[in-house]
Amino acid sequence: MKNIYSIFFSITVLATLGLGYIWWNDYSFKNNPLDDELQNRINKKIKELQIKSYQRFGIKRTFPIIISDDMSSNHYGMAVYTKNQEIKIYLNKNRFKENANYMIEDVIPHEYAHAITFAIGHFSTKEKGHDKVWQDICKKLDGKRCERFVNHDDILIEKTNLF
């Protein structure tokens, strides 16, 4: 009986420590900026997109990138055209925790393509802004997947590292 108690107690302690660790990671992620390595990867991708937008579209404009934890969970990012003719790109901070590679390689070019459509004055409401013009721009930015919406299977497959 003493052995069973010791095993149960050990499992309980380990489970409590594991839950505490998970809670601390979530708390730290939510209350701190993205780490430097991730910020550098994001900045590198944005610089690549700025170069491509100049080379392929003649656009020298930079678009502010705002990483926000206030976006709803079903949004990965969004490009916004304001009344003052500003174009901003918002990225969902919480989605970086889920899959940073997907955010950098898929979502950033996707949103950058929207920003360019705004910059060239193309404001299509067809297919919620994912028309042929947007798709062509996305492809010219070397977007990996220029589909209309997020493909959750892509995210899961990459997270498992099986392929």
Check residue 126 and give its pLDDT. Answer: 74
Give the range of the structural domain holding residue 85, as residue numbers without chain letter.
35-160
58 and 127 part of one domain = yes
Q: Which two tokens stand for residue 18?
A: 């594991």
Let me know whether 7 and 45 are in one domain: no
* Lowest-pLDDT range of 2-11, 93-102, 125-134: 125-134
- What distance in Å separates the CA atoms of residue 66 and residue 33, rounded to the nearest whole number? 12
Beta-carbon contacts of 113 under 8 Å, excluding residues fewer than 6 positions away, are 134, 137, 138, 141, 143, 146
Query: How far, in whole angstroms, is CA 46 from its chain's centroid?
Result: 12
**What CATH number does the domain containing 50 carry?**
3.30.2010
Q: Based on the domain organization, do 76 and 109 belong to the same domain?
A: yes
- Count of domains observed in the chain: 2
Q: Do 83 and 104 reside in the same domain of the chain?
A: yes
What whole-number percentage of the chain has pLDDT above 90? Answer: 53
pLDDT in tens, 94-112: 999 888 999 999 999 999 9
> Does 4 lie in the same domain as 54?
no
Both 104 and 125 in a single domain? yes
Out of 59-63, 103-107, 147-151, least confident range:
147-151
**DSSP classification of residue 84:** T
pLDDT category at 21 given cuts 50, 70, 90 is confident
Do 11 and 85 reside in the same domain of the chain? no
Contacts of residue 34, defined as CB under 8 A and 6 or more positions apart, other chains included, come to 42, 67, 93, 96
Q: Where are the beta strands (DSSP E) in the chain?
A: 65-68, 77-81, 87-92
Q: Are residues 49 and 91 in the same domain?
A: yes
Same domain, 20 and 41: no
What's residue 148's pLDDT? 65
pLDDT in tens, 74-93: 889 999 998 888 999 999 99
162 pLDDT higher than 80: no
Question: 53 and 106 in one domain?
Answer: yes
Q: Are residues 27 and 63 in the same domain?
A: no
In this structure, the answer to whether residues 27 and 47 fall within a common structural domain is no
